[in-house]
């Protein structure tokens, strides 16, 4: 007889057991997925974009050399990872000391604390730091102070300028754009196609995005699959869209969706917020004589112990749980079994196997000539 198996990480550490999360990013995907897996989630990786590494980007190096010959008055660092990547790219071709010297003479603007930290890491000091990690505050600053006649260099992330370049040009500045990494096609297009279908069919509990271009490309992929409407509908209902920050969330919000956005725009904060959101999402609880039965789409725990149940056993258990202690007929049990059997014996076998999986045969009672019911606590 199969018995419930204790889980070494039962309790709060496994609160995502039975949850399935789709990660659409490539950068830091392993770290992100491992954090969710430690909490019990099943993680599916389907990067929708690849990244052209900064050290291999001749265009970035060329623009940096031009900047050394024509030093800027103002430099805007939009992301921490991007600014560090810029320094690494310069170091790879031996011009990092010259770049630091040029930056030291410029006014350094940081879009948020992560960019500020990267500036400090290079031995420099940010002269002005936006409280948020959006471009809005920087636009307000330039609009108020004016930049006419100034040479402004903007370090961009892969999603482009956030409108900064256009504003600076409109205000009369001379602009040098430095895109530290660029987006390329997905590493595995077939994985993206499968991921789109999983979301459209609500076969995942959440889909996580870490960049605005990733959101745009995922929606474009769903359009190519003919499933855009189904994907948007799923993210408005059963599938929780989760984003690392407001910039990433914007393309979803433009569709009328309400993605999860952590208060602090960090990967760790996203993991915590996602864990909190999913731990009670799609969970049915029922008190039994053996403790609380918690049922999710693909897992169940009883008294805090994970039950080793097959998909068929979970289907039968779900029918009994949905009845809330009421009687479930043999015909109803047959209805959740694969195939189209009308043999009452098949229902009896399915219930017997469920009893084995529960580890306590008394939890599922036979009601003579009627069916079966779950023994719930009064």
pLDDT in tens, 196-236: 999 999 999 999 998 888 999 999 999 999 999 999 999 99
Residue 104's contacts (CB-CB under 8 Å, 6 or more residues apart) are 124
Determine the topology of domain 284-374 in CATH.
Arc Repressor Mutant, subunit A (1.10.10)
Bridge partners of 107, per DSSP, are 74
User: What average pLDDT score do residues 331-339 get?
Assistant: 90
Strand ranges in the chain using DSSP code E only, listed in sequence order: 20-23, 42-45, 50-52, 74-77, 107-110, 128-129, 151-156, 174-179, 182-184, 206-209, 240-243, 284-288, 291-295, 300-302, 305-306, 328-329, 364-367, 371-374
What's the pLDDT at 12?
42
Q: Residue 355 burial (CB < 10 Å; 0-12/13-18/19+)?
A: buried
User: What average pLDDT score do residues 183-189 get?
Assistant: 89
What's the pLDDT at 181?
75
pLDDT in tens, 263-279: 876 788 899 999 999 88
Ordered DSSP codes for 309-367: --HHHHHHHHHHHHTTTS-EEHHHHHHHSSS----HHHHHHHHHHHHHHHT-GGGEEEE
Higher pLDDT, 348 or 40: 348
Q: Are 75 and 103 in contact (CB under 8 A)?
A: yes
Residue 236's contacts (CB-CB under 8 Å, 6 or more residues apart) are 256, 257
Chain mean position to CA 326: 39
Q: Is domain 52-183 annotated with CATH 1.20.140.10?
A: no
User: What average pLDDT score do residues 160-179 get?
Assistant: 87
What's the pLDDT at 148?
96
Whether residue 63 is predicted with pLDDT greater than 70 in this model: the reply is yes
Higher pLDDT, 70 or 268: 70
What's the pLDDT at 186?
93
* Same-fold call for 20-49+186-279 versus 52-183: yes
pLDDT in tens, 5-14: 333 333 446 7
User: What average pLDDT score do residues 80-99 get?
Assistant: 90
User: What average pLDDT score do residues 61-75 get?
Assistant: 96
Which tokens hold the place of 158? 């892969």
Which tokens hold the place of 317? 């258990």
Residue 120 DSSP code: H
Cα angle value 243/249/252 (rounded, 5°): 115
Closest C-alpha to 323, from 277, 272, 284, 289: 284
Which tokens hold the place of 267? 């990967």
Q: Are 149 and 172 in contact (CB under 8 A)?
A: yes
List helix spans (H) across 201-266. Answer: 212-224, 228-235, 246-253
What's the pLDDT at 56?
64
Helix (H) or strand (E) holding 115: helix 113-121
Q: What are phi and psi of 54, to 5 degrees?
A: -65, -35
Domains of the chain by residue range: 20-49+186-279, 52-183, 284-374
Q: Residue 159: pLDDT band by 50, 70, 90 thresholds?
A: low
Which tokens hold the place of 186? 């997905």
Mean pLDDT comparison of 8-22, 26-40, 92-106, 274-288, highest-scoring range: 92-106
User: What average pLDDT score do residues 288-303 get?
Assistant: 83
Residue recorded with tokens 């599922």: 364
Closest C-alpha to 255, from 278, 282, 280, 223: 223
Determine the topology of domain 20-49+186-279 in CATH.
Rossmann fold (3.40.50)
pLDDT in tens, 298-314: 778 888 788 889 989 99
Number of alpha carbons in the 13 Å side-chain half-sphere of residue 76: 29
User: What average pLDDT score do residues 283-297 get?
Assistant: 84
Q: What is the mean pLDDT of the chain?
A: 88
Sheet bearing 74-77, strands edge to edge: 128-129, 107-110, 74-77, 151-156, 174-179
Whether residue 132 is predicted with pLDDT greater than 80 in this model: the reply is no
> What is the reported pTM?
0.63
């Amino acid at each position: 007889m199969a018995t419930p198996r204790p889980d070494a990480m039962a309790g709060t550490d496994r609160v995502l057991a039975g949850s399935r999360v789709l990660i659409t990013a490539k950068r830091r995907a392993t770290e992100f997925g491992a954090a969710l897996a430690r909490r019990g989630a099943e993680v599916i990786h389907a990067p929708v974009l690849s990244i052209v590494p900064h050290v291999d980007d001749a265009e970035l190096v060329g623009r940096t050399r031009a900047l050394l010959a024509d030093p800027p008055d103002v430099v805007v660092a939009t992301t921490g990872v991007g600014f560090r990547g810029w320094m690494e790219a310069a170091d790879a071709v031996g011009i990092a000391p010259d770049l630091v010297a040029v930056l030291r003479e410029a006014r350094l603007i940081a879009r948020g604390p992560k960019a500020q930290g990267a500036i400090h890491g290079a031995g420099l000091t940010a002269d002005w730091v936006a409280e948020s990690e959006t471009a809005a505050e920087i636009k307000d600053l330039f609009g108020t102070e004016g930049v006419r006649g100034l040479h402004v260099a903007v370090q961009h992330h892969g999603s482009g300028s956030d409108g900064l370049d256009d504003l600076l040009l409109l205000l009369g500045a001379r602009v040098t754009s430095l895109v530290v990494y660029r987006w390329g096609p997905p590493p595995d297009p077939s994985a993206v196609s499968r991921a789109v279908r999983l979301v459209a069919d609500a076969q995942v509990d959440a889909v996580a995005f870490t960049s605005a271009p990733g959101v745009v490309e995922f929606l474009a992929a769903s359009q190519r699959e003919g499933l855009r409407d189904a994907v948007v509908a799923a993210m408005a209902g059963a599938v929780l869209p989760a984003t690392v920050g407001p910039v990433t969330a914007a393309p979803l919000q433009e569709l009328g969706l309400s993605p999860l956005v952590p208060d602090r725009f960090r990967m760790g904060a996203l993991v915590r917020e996602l864990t909190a959101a999913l731990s009670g999402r799609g969970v049915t609880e029922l008190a039994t004589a053996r403790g609380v039965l918690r049922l999710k789409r693909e897992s169940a725990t009883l008294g805090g112990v994970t039950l080793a149940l097959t998909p068929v056993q979970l289907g039968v258990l779900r029918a009994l749980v949905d009845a809330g202690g009421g009687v479930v007929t043999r015909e109803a049990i047959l209805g959740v079994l694969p195939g189209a059997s009308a043999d009452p014996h098949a229902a009896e076998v399915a219930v017997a196997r469920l009893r084995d999986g529960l580890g306590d045969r008394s939890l599922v009672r036979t009601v003579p000539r009627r069916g079966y019911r779950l023994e719930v606590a009064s």
